[in-house]
Amino acid sequence: MLEITGINAGYGDVQVLYDLSLQVGEGEIVALLGANGAGKTTTLWTISGLLKPTSGQIRFENRDLMSMPAHHLPDLGIAHVPQGRGVFQTLNVLDNLLVGAYSRRAKAGRKEALEMVFGLFPRLHERQKQEARTLSGGEQQMLAIGRALMLRPRLLMLDEPSLGLAPVVVETVFEKIAEIGRTGVAILLVEQNLTQALSIAHRGYVLETGRITIQGSTVELMGNEYVKEAYIGL
């Protein structure tokens, strides 16, 4: 579904991604793992078209994403939840969600999408009139994911959904992500929290200083001695 081949990208003269290749198949949950500054966010920005790579290829369902402006991606069914959530603080929950259904493709199915989001996140339904800034961190993360789901995406890209959340809340958020995956939405999950990410992912890639160093199934990564030592602390 998503096929990235040999991407080189960075900011000005500073190269951040080196010859990066990765794939996400239909309905797959794929984790992109790595420490602070490895280039995970940069990878998502590059896929979203917010950062132009200097070379390489990005294709989604055989279409060349690199020749497309970033604002066309939602109409293809690609949604991106940025790090830090980016919900509209002074809008209430309902309006935040409705803002999410701005693409031509999403506007038509807005009512059904809202029902689906409220079904997945009953808490958002209960709090639909509440201003986003008064929600807890976990609720804001759910709102950010809910807003992306209003696009009825086929590929959902999540940038560190566990960031700043208490462990018990992280668990709830990951259960919801797994549930979204079970509905057939493909997910590219960027995470520093390797154990949590691999608890729901089918496959993963480890990114280190801009290069993919290890890739494999969840079982392979969990059993990899280097991964265990460097990322799981075993």
Residue ranges in contact with ligand ATP by CB under 6 A: 11, 14, 16, 34, 36-42, 83, 192
Least distance (Å) between residue 41 CB and ligand ATP: 3
User: Between residues 15 and 183, which has the closer beta carbon with respect to ligand ATP?
Assistant: 15
User: Between residues 40 and 176, which has the closer beta carbon with respect to ligand ATP?
Assistant: 40
Least distance (Å) between residue 191 CB and ligand ATP: 9
User: Between residues 14 and 168, which has the closer beta carbon with respect to ligand ATP?
Assistant: 14
Three-state SS string over 97-158 comes to: HHHHCCCHHHHHCHHHHHHHHHHHCHHHHHCCCCEHHHCCHHHHHHHHHHHHHCCCCCEEEE
User: Between residues 45 and 118, which has the closer beta carbon with respect to ligand ATP?
Assistant: 45
Least distance (Å) between residue 192 CB and ligand ATP: 5
Least distance (Å) between residue 136 CB and ligand ATP: 22
User: Between residues 53 and 77, which has the closer beta carbon with respect to ligand ATP?
Assistant: 53
Least distance (Å) between residue 61 CB and ligand ATP: 25
Least distance (Å) between residue 212 CB and ligand ATP: 12
User: Between residues 97 and 221, which has the closer beta carbon with respect to ligand ATP?
Assistant: 221
